Amino acid sequence: MQIAHSALTQKLSAFVVLSDTDLDTLARFHRRRRSFAAGHSLIHEGQNHKSAFILAEGWACSYKMLPDGERQIVGIQIAGDFLGLRSILFRTSDHSLEAVTRIEASEVLASDILDSFAQAPRLATAVLWAASRDEAMVVEHLVNLGRRSAEMRMAHFLLELRARLKLVGIGDASGFDCPLTQYHLADILGLSAVHVNRVLRHLREDGLVTFQKGRVMFHDIAALGTLAGFDPDYLDQDGPLLR
């Protein structure tokens, strides 16, 4: 029941309508449920991992550390997202991954996924779509870091998060609850924590967004979108396109 309507199912439905076979195969991904405490480290860069996870509940982040101790967060994962999918075919994982909040996740083996390509090709395509979408988010993130100002980055990030959370039924028109600290935001946006604070104050004073006490509240989404140059097309999530 709750499996059939898992966050992943909900997300994939933005791409195709899944058949019963698809749903069955998908359900098989959800054996091996695990739960991890906030701050727990699931994947270590440089180690070999034959499995990935599907996040069912809570927030996680993937990141890379630099020799000088700096950290760059590559992406934030929410319910319905894959964790560590990229490097199951690699000798060693190219990134680390830790739980931001307490999380619930299902472990999936490389073979589970590869086998599904033969059994449920439609589902397989949907999984590839999800992976492509993850990559599109990384790409947009890269553009953020390369060519946008601190304020634009913040605005863009918050709007993306809003759209992603909406797709899996989290948050409402006014905003969403967000467990990220300003240190997280700094490591996501390639800024210092101090500057993150100033940027948030600025956006708040301009009546665009408020991020306080673990809640993000939007006051002028249109203006925020213009500021950020946010065009949600790269999320490719405008209703299911049957084919």
Taking a C-beta distance cutoff of 8 angstroms, is the pair 156, 230 a contact? yes
- By CB under 8 A, name the one of 128, 193, 194, 217 that touches a second copy: 128
Q: Can residue 193 be called a binding residue for a second copy (CB under 8 A)?
A: no
Site string for DNA, 134-163 (x = CB under 7 A): ---------------xxx------------
Taking a C-beta distance cutoff of 8 angstroms, is the pair 183, 193 a contact? yes
Interface of this chain with a second copy, residues 10 to 29, rule: CB under 8 A:
15
- By CB under 7 A, name the one of 50, 91, 213, 243 that touches DNA: 213
- By CB under 8 A, name the one of 136, 170, 221, 223 that touches a second copy: 136
**In a 3-state reduction of DSSP, which class is residue 36?**
strand
Taking a C-beta distance cutoff of 8 angstroms, is the pair 230, 236 a contact? no
| Stretch near DNA under the rule CB under 7 A, chosen from 72-80, 131-139, 194-202, 231-239 | 194-202
Question: Residue for token digits 């359900």?
Answer: 27
Instruction: Fill in the amino acid letter for 190.
Output: G
b/e per residue 153-169 (b: at least 16 CB within 10 A): bbbbbbbbbbebbebbe
Q: Can residue 71 be called a binding residue for a second copy (CB under 8 A)?
A: yes
Taking a C-beta distance cutoff of 8 angstroms, is the pair 218, 155 a contact? no
Token pair of 58, please?
């809570």
Q: Can residue 194 be called a binding residue for DNA (CB under 7 A)?
A: yes
Residues that bind a second copy (CB under 8 A): 15, 46, 64, 66-68, 70-72, 74, 86-87, 89-92, 94-95, 114, 117-118, 121, 124-125, 128-129, 131-136, 138-143, 145-148, 189-190, 229, 233-234, 236, 238, 241
